[in-house]
């Protein structure tokens, strides 16, 4: 008899793991809280480092999905309980399923930029987040509807809600440096004469071809990188956003006025998942993410046999890393299910 | 002295802030047009680490490049002339910038703008 796996979250990690486990002959229920598959990628116009469309990636993943995977939409999981070698998985609307194994592919939430009040999100009209900018790219109408004119100067603020004790998150969100570079280039392609500034603490171009994209941003698009963290933003009479940083490489405070400020919102652990972790008595990390038993060799395993995790549920990851992690989780789950026969 | 006395020992500190909106960005765009390497610099400081002029004075090619990019031009023409064009920096720059040409162009533009 085939074993049943409940995959919680139908973002890219959940979809990838579900496809593989299904192909291995297990019976899969893919549980999604929204009404559509694909998670955050639905709202991402282009992906780094090769600028492919977010849509395109999702379609690739959907192609691999077999119809025998049961998908449950609109199910927000509120409780997962171990019960005589199985798990009882319950949703907010009362829906219940039993599973031999659970995969937490629960992903991340975007940091709520309102919390960095001094940056003016939700207060000044011309302060938006990186996610808002992707939405603007998807709409395809450019920035003019928002600004009422062609922009002349745009600034990107790195590490918003990441690497920040004040925001409660000391970790690096990993994807926002390269996303800022990608978005800056997209802006330059849309408005070639616009001046673009990236304000950073450290530039983390660790991935394959990230450094090349950074170099392209400098060489081909004249995007300027200023090392300094934003202290505060304010609005001038004309609706421009005045930012103050220290240009730490020159050792002097710097002030400039922008037409649009883009905040690179980081990743945070979804509160509901952190609560579930604590209710199950699983190991805690110094943040809300799930903690694997061993960060190198058992990155998808918890202390609870049968309870697995993949993707950004365990912390910020790129798409490439998320998909690799999902496949490795599928292998671990397959091994576990064979052992319990 | 007298001035200082009439101020009871107080004085006004000059504003150190880089006023990017008001600063001169013409020089940067002229230099970049002649030597695009201006925009590739990552401020790593390898040039200044190897530079003989930097060893004995506070001359720094890294800082000069950054000052041009920020439009912080006060005193820069004099500073930039301290370079001896020996080319050691060019051997070490990780971004492959033609640093000698860059400093030549910085000097040329600063002089032609009478700065
Ligand atoms: S990836 Fe870059 S912007 Fe994002 S948190 Fe890390 S250092 Fe900051
Ligand atoms: S060329 Fe000028 S800046 Fe470069 S090492 Fe020689 S003196 Fe220093
Ligand atoms: S060595 Fe090259 S990249 Fe580094 S600071 Fe000097 S000019 Fe810039």
Question: Which residues does A24 contact at the CB level (< 8 Å), separation at least 6?
Answer: A330, A334
Query: How many angstroms separate the CA atoms of A101 and A337, rounded?
Result: 8
Determine, yes or no, domain membership for B13: no
Domain of residue B53, residue span = 23-112
- What SS3 state is found at A218? helix
Over residues A205-258, the pLDDT tens digits come to 999 999 999 999 999 999 999 999 999 999 999 999 999 999 999 999 999 999
Q: Which of A202, A222, A234, A248 to mutate to test the interface with B (most CBs of B within 10 A)?
A: A222
Cis peptide before A287 (omega within 30 of 0): no
Over residues A58-95, the pLDDT tens digits come to 999 999 999 999 999 999 999 999 999 999 999 999 99
How much is the average pLDDT of B85-107?
Answer: 97
CA of B73 to the centre of ligand 1 (A): 32
Q: Is the pLDDT of residue A49 over 80?
A: yes
Interhelix angle for A176-190 vs A130-139, to 10°?
A: 40
Determine, yes or no, domain membership for B41: yes
Per-residue pLDDT band at B4 (split at 50, 70, 90): low
Over residues A101-112, the pLDDT tens digits come to 999 999 999 999
pTM for the structure as a whole: 0.95
Interhelix angle for A210-219 vs A176-190, to 10°?
A: 40
Nearest to A253 among B17, B36, B40 (CB): B17
Distance from CA of A227 to the nearest CA of B (A): 10
Determine, yes or no, domain membership for B6: no
Q: Is the pLDDT of residue B1 over 60?
A: no
Asked if A265 and A167 touch (Cβ cutoff 8 Å), the reply is no
Q: For residue B110, give the H/E element and its range.
A: helix B99-112
Asked if A91 and A8 touch (Cβ cutoff 8 Å), the reply is no
- Name the DSSP class of A167: G
CA distances A22 to A65, A70, A99, A117, A154, Å, are 9, 10, 14, 46, 46
Domain count, chain B: 1
Q: Where are the domains of chain A?
A: 4-108+269-340, 113-267
Q: Is the pLDDT of residue B87 over 80?
A: yes
* The CATH number of domain A4-108+269-340, selected from 2.40.50.180, 3.30.56.10, 3.50.50.60, 3.30.70.3270: 3.50.50.60
Query: How many angstroms separate the CA atoms of A95 and A72, rounded?
Result: 10
Over residues A27-40, the pLDDT tens digits come to 999 999 999 999 99
List all residues of chain A from 227 to 286 with a beta carbon under 8 Å from chain B: 227, 247, 249-250, 252-257
Distance from CA of A218 to the nearest CA of B (A): 6
B87 Cβ closer than 6 Å to some ligand 2 atom:
yes
pLDDT of residue B3: 61
Query: How many angstroms separate the CA atoms of B35 and A67, rounded?
Result: 58
Determine, yes or no, domain membership for B47: yes
Alpha-helical segments (H) within A51-147: 54-64, 130-139, 144-147
Contacts of B40 in chain A (CB under 8 A): 215, 218-219
Query: How many angstroms separate the CA atoms of A318 and A176, rounded?
Result: 10
Give the start-end residues of each E strand in chain B. Answer: 18-19
Determine, yes or no, domain membership for B61: yes
Burial class (CB in 10 A: 0-12, 13-18, 19+), A74: middle
Least confident of A145-149, A167-171, B44-48: A145-149
Asked if A329 and A302 touch (Cβ cutoff 8 Å), the reply is no
Least CA distance to A252: which residue of chain B? B17
Asked if A155 and A258 touch (Cβ cutoff 8 Å), the reply is yes
Report ipTM (2 d.p.).
0.90
CATH of domain A113-267: 3.50.50.60
- CA atoms lying within 13 Å on the CB side of residue A117: 0
């Amino acid at each position: 008899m085939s074993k049943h796996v409940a995959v919680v979250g139908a973002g890219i990690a959940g979809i990838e793991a579900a496809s593989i486990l299904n192909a291995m002959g297990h019976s899969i229920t893919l549980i999604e809280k929204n009404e559509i598959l694909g998670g955050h990628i639905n709202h991402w116009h282009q992906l780094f480092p090769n600028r492919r469309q977010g849509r395109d990636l999702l379609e690739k993943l959907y192609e691999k999905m077999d119809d025998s995977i049961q998908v449950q939409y609109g199910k927000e999981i509120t409780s997962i309980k171990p019960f005589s070698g199985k798990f009882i998985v319950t949703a907010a609307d009362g829906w219940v399923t039993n599973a031999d194994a659970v995969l937490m592919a629960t992903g991340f939430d975007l940091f709520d930029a309102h919390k960095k009040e001094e940056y003016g999100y939700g207060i000044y009209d011309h302060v938006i987040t990186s996610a808002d900018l992707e939405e603007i790219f998807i709409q395809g109408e450019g920035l003019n509807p928002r600004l009422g004119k062609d922009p002349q100067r745009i600034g990107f603020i790195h590490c918003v809600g990441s690497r920040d004790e004040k925001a409660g998150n000391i970790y690096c969100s990993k994807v926002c440096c390269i996303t800022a570079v990608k978005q800056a280039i997209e802006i330059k392609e849309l408005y070639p004469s616009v001046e673009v500034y990236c304000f950073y603490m450290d530039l983390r171009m660790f991935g394959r071809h990230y450094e090349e994209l950074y170099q392209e941003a400098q060489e081909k698009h004249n995007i300027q990188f200023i090392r300094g963290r934003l202290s505060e933003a304010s609005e001038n009479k004309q609706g421009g956003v005045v930012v103050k940083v220290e240009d730490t490489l020159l050792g002097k405070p710097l002030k400039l006025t922008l037409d649009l400020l883009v905040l690179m919102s980081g990743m945070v652990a979804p509160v509901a998942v952190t609560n579930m972790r604590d209710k199950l008595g699983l190991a805690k990390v110094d943040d809300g993410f799930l903690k694997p038993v061993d960060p190198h060799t058992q990155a998808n395993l918890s202390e609870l046999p049968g309870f697995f995790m993949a993707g950004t549920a365990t912390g910020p990851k790129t798409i490439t890393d998320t998909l690799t992690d999902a496949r490795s989780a599928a292998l671990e789950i397959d091994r576990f299910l064979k052992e319990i026969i | 002295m007298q001035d200082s006395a009439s101020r009871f020992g107080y004085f006004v500190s000059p504003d150190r802030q880089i006023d990017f909106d008001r600063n001169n960005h013409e020089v940067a765009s002229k230099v970049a047009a002649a030597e695009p390497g201006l925009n590739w610099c990552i401020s790593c400081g390898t040039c200044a680490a190897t530079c003989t002029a930097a060893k004995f004075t506070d001359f720094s090619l890294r800082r000069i490049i950054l000052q041009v990019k920020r439009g912080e031009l006060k005193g820069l023409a004099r500073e930039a002339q301290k370079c001896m064009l020996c080319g050691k920096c060019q051997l070490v720059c990780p971004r492959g910038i033609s640093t000698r040409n860059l400093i030549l162009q910085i000097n040329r533009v600063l002089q032609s703008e009478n700065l």
